[in-house]
Structure 1
């Protein structure tokens, strides 16, 4: 099935500073290869990933469908998990938890992203396992 967001996402990635492209492309692959029901779009002016499968009804302000947003901020890559503080510590996914439920993981460069690949995969799988279907 074709992704209607593909052209928009391609254009977005083309607009990213060349220094960040390999890292963004690696992170994108990690998210999209984690589960067939993870989809992508541009949200909050950033590349974002969400669960596209069936879920029980919920208040949209709870952001239960939103998995992560990759935010380029002050020459750093931040992965913002809107409901990420529910990801269990055992996954090894380190980041800062916020009282509003967010978890933010900082990615310094491509090498740092490679080092965090396994913990990101475990964190994503853990998040998916907690979805109320």
Structure 2
């Protein structure tokens, strides 16, 4: 089920890539019934198994970033954590925090299947 809070936020969102945000939000939520959502960092964020794991970052307005993380707090095993990204979509900010960036509707559409597969593996890692 989608969050009314996120629906209201997206209804009022003014962003160049709003169609990408809306499409990817729907696709992520539909990809696994274990997801729930809320707002974090003034953007949709997805919770899996009780922890924030995937969050949109919507500023600046000429791109969207999808942040892959392992919860609110840095985990004790962060330095030794490894995750393979055969898609090449992720830029790693730390061993346990990565960012996927899209600057166009076309780029997001072309990568959607790979992104959803990546997110599915990420939330189980």
CA change 1:105–1:18 in 2 (3 A) is closer
- Structure 2, unaligned runs of 5 or more: 71-80
CA change 1:87–1:50 in 2 (3 A) is farther
Q: CA deviation at 1:86?
A: 4.6
- DSSP 3-state at the match of 1:73: coil
Structure 2: distance between partners of 1:23 and 1:40: 17
- Structure 1, unaligned runs of 5 or more: 56-64
1:16 aligned to which of 13, 16, 19? 13
Compute the TM-score of the two structures, normalised by the length of structure 2.
0.78
- DSSP 3-state at the match of 2:31: coil
Q: CA deviation at 1:21?
A: 2.1
Compute the TM-score of the two structures, normalised by the length of structure 1.
0.74
1:68 aligned to which of 54, 76, 81? 54
2:65 corresponds to: 78
Please say if residues 93 and 119 of structure 1, whose CA atoms lie closer than 8 Å, have aligned partners that are also in contact.
no
Q: What is the CA deviation profile of residues 19-40 of structure 1, one whole-angstrom value per residue up to 9, with x for unaligned ones?
A: 3221111110221111001111
State how many pairs are aligned. 114
